[in-house]
Structure formats: C-alpha cells, structure tokens
Amino acid sequence: MDQELLAHFDRRIARKGYDNRSEAIRDLIRADLVAEEWERAEGEVVGTISLVYDHHLRSLTKRLTSFQHTRYQMILSSLHVHLDEDNCLEVLVVRGMEPHIRALAERLIATKGVKHGRLTLTTTGKRLS
Ligand code: NI
C-alpha cells in the first residue's frame, strides 16, 4: 500500500484515539458492513432519533409525545434535556424494521416547530463479530 496514504491514515486514527491500526481497520470494516445492512434495508435496526425544538410553541410538546405513544413498540427509551430557557433536546432510542424506523424519524423531524432532527442508525450487532 502507498506509504504516504498509510501515513495520513495513521495520523488520522491517532487523532481519533486509536492505539493501533488494526483496531481502526476493524472498525472501518464493521462500519462498511453496517452500511450494507442499511442499503439492503432488511431486518431489524437500532438507532437514535434526536430532536431539538422550542417548548414554548403551543401544543408542540404534546403533539410529539402523543405521536410517540402511537409508536411505543419502536421507542425503547427517551431522554429529555432542557438546553436553555427555550430549547429542548429529545433523544429517542428506537428499534424496529428499517422502513418503519425511517418513517417514524421523518414524521417526528417534519413536525412543525422541530428546529433540527437526525436519525442515526446503527445495528443490532448480531451480524457483526
Ligand atoms: Ni425541555
């Protein structure tokens, strides 16, 4: 392999806190396999949905909570942080079939008054060693 390329890689993984190259390469391989799981969109996924919103907006908190109750089977846990006088951060840990999870995230993020939202998918870990 190109020595210059490897030197770049070694500097990058050192910044990221890896002790050695093989652990970094293992994580890259795992990340690629997880990406493949999403591309196939089959099976169960685990992830988090984060939402930032202004709790002063009338009925927004209520609407977000009501909708979450209709999807309670997919929401394993939720965390609420009061960021300041106005803004709240909510993080949901979700598990379910990929298209359902994506639809849940899209619906929550599209709710009027949600300033920022993001779905981060990971894996159940079953297919990775
Ligand atoms: Ni709050």
How confident is the model over 1-39, as pLDDT tens digits?
889 999 999 999 999 999 889 999 999 998 888 877 766
State the pTM of this model: 0.75
Residue 117 placed within a domain: yes
| Nearest Cα residue to 105 out of 121, 89, 125, 129 | 121
Distance in Å, CA 103 to ligand 1 centroid: 24
Chain mean pLDDT for the chain: 90
In a domain, 126, yes or no: no
Residue 107 lies in a domain: yes
Neighbours of 21 (CB within 10 A): 13
What is the Å distance from ligand 1's center to 127 Cα?
A: 37
Rounded mean pLDDT of 91-101?
94
- Look at residues 117, 128, 110, 63 and name the one whose alpha carbon lies nearest to residue 94: 117
Instruction: Note whether residue 127 is domain-resident.
Output: no
Domain count, the chain: 2
What is the pLDDT, as a whole number, of residue 40? 67
CA of 20 to the centre of ligand 1 (A): 41
Residue 67: pLDDT band (50, 70, 90) is very high
CATH number at 83 reads 3.30.70.1150
Task: Verify that 73 and 111 share a domain, yes or no.
Answer: yes
Residue 113, pLDDT > 70, answer yes
- Which range of residues forms the domain containing residue 25? 3-40
